Amino acid sequence: MIEEKKMSMENALLLLKRVGYCKVLFEWFSYAFKSSLLRGRFKKMIVNEEEKNEEKNEKLLADLCECCLLLSKGIPDELTLICVPCLLKVSLKKDEDEEILKEVELALLALSNIVLSEVPKELYLNEIKEIIQYHQEHHNLTRLAYQSAWGFLIYRLDNDKSLNEVIVNELHFGREAARELEELTRNVDWKKKEEENGKRRREAKEEIALMRWIVTLKIYFLCCRLRNEEFVEILSRIVRVFRAAKENYGGFRNQCISSLKRAAGNKVVKIDDLLKSGAIDVVLERIQWPTLDDGMIFLYGIFHASPFISSHLNSEKKKI
C-alpha cells in the first residue's frame, strides 16, 4: 500500500504503532509479524537510517523501532543495539507536555516488550536508572510509563544477577511496587464485572497498569536472589488485590495467585514474610470455597512442602 501510494509512510507507521500498542496492552498473541516480509523491511530501514549519521531522521528511526518492538517480543541482536539506545533517548525527555508524555509512554512500553532478547547492560542501565530516579523525585511519568520502565529492567534480571543490588537496594523496587499497587487498587471499581456490556473492564489504563505490575512481580519473585525487608509489603498488597478481585475479576485473581506461588517458591522469601503478609491466610480462605482451581491447589502444595507452614495450615484447618 505504501509503494502504491495508497498510504503515506507516516500514516502507515502511525497505524502499526497503534496496532502494536493494543497488542501489548491487551495481550494479543500473534506470530505473523515475526515471519513476515514487513519485519525484514523494518530491519533494513532501521539499519539504513542508523547508518546515515548526521542525516539521520531521529523521529523516523524511533517510529520504526517502536513498531518493531511492539509487534514482536524478540528482535535480532543488531536491532537491539540500535533500538534500545534510540528509545531510551526518547524516554529521557522530561518535558511534561501531553504529546511528549505520550511519546515517552510509548517508547517505554515498546522497551518493556523486549522479553525474549538479551540486552547488554551498558546499553541501558545508566539511562533506565535516571528515568526511574527522576520519576521518584518529580513524578513526571504516566503510571503506564513508570510500570513499563520497571518492566524492562525486571526482565533483564533473569540473565544478569548483578542487577539484584541495583533493583532492590538502589532503586527500591519493593517500596515503589507496593505504593503503585496500593494507589492503583484504590482506583479500580471492583464491584463491577470484569466483562460488562460485552467490553473488557481492563480497558481502563489504571487496570492495565495494575495487571502489568502484578505480572512484573511474578517475574521479580522468580528471578530475585537478594533478601530484602520489602517482601512483606509487596506480598500484602498482592493479597489485597486478590481479595478485592476474587468475586468479579478472575484475570486479576489468577495473576495474584501466580505471583504468590512464585514468591512461595523463592528461597530468599522467608516464612515470616508469607505469614505477616497474609499470603497463607489467602490459602486458608480459598480452601474453604466449594471448588479449588489448579493454581490454588499448586500454591497450597508449595506452602505444604515446608514443615513449619504445613504445621500452621493443619492447625488452622482443624479450626475450620
pLDDT digits (tens, 9 = 90+) for 273-303: 988 999 888 877 766 666 666 556 656 666 6
Report, as an integer, the average pLDDT of 244-263.
Answer: 89
pLDDT digits (tens, 9 = 90+) for 153-190: 999 999 999 999 999 999 999 999 999 999 999 988 88
Which pLDDT value is given to residue 254?
A: 87
- List, as own/partner pairs, every contact residues 115-120 make where C-beta atoms lie below 8 angstroms and the sequence separation is at least 24, other chains included: 115/73, 115/74, 115/155, 116/73, 116/74, 117/73, 117/74, 117/75, 117/77, 117/80, 118/77, 118/80, 118/159, 119/80, 119/84, 119/156, 120/81
Residue 116 C-alpha cell reads as 525474549
CA distances from 192 to 196, 213, 244, 245, 307 (A): 8, 21, 11, 10, 40
What is the C-alpha radius of gyration for the chain, rounded to an integer number of angstroms? Answer: 21
More reliable by pLDDT, 173 or 196 = 173
Report, as an integer, the average pLDDT of 225-244.
Answer: 93
Which pLDDT value is given to residue 201?
A: 45
Instruction: Quote the mean pLDDT of the chain.
Output: 85
Question: Which contiguous run of DSSP H or E holds residue 30?
Answer: none
pLDDT digits (tens, 9 = 90+) for 29-75: 666 666 667 778 888 899 999 998 778 899 999 999 999 899 887 78
Report, as an integer, the average pLDDT of 227-254.
Answer: 91
Report, as an integer, the average pLDDT of 136-162.
Answer: 95
pLDDT at 6 over 90: no
pTM over 0.85: yes
**Torsion-angle region of residue 21: left (phi > 0), alpha (psi -120 to 50) or beta?**
alpha
* SS3 of residue 199 by DSSP: strand
> Cβ distance 92 to 131 under 8 Å?
yes
pLDDT at 320 over 70: no
What DSSP assignment string belongs to 78-137? HHHHHHHHHHHHHHT-----HHHHHHHHHHHHHHHT--SS---GGGTHHHHHHHHHHHHH
Which pLDDT value is given to residue 315?
A: 62
Q: How confident is the model at residue 12 (pLDDT cuts 50, 70, 90)?
A: confident
| All structural domains of the chain with their residue ranges | 1-129, 157-320
Q: How confident is the model at residue 198 (pLDDT cuts 50, 70, 90)?
A: very low
DSSP designation for 270 = -
Q: Which residues pair with 199 in a beta bridge?
A: 196
Report, as an integer, the average pLDDT of 222-249.
Answer: 92
- Single out the residue of 195, 185, 287, 275 nearest to residue 238, CA to CA: 185
| Fold adopted by 157-320 | Leucine-rich Repeat Variant (1.25.10)
pLDDT digits (tens, 9 = 90+) for 88-105: 999 999 988 999 999 999
CA distances from 96 to 100, 127, 145, 252 (A): 7, 18, 13, 31
d(C-alpha 119, C-alpha 114), whole Å:
9
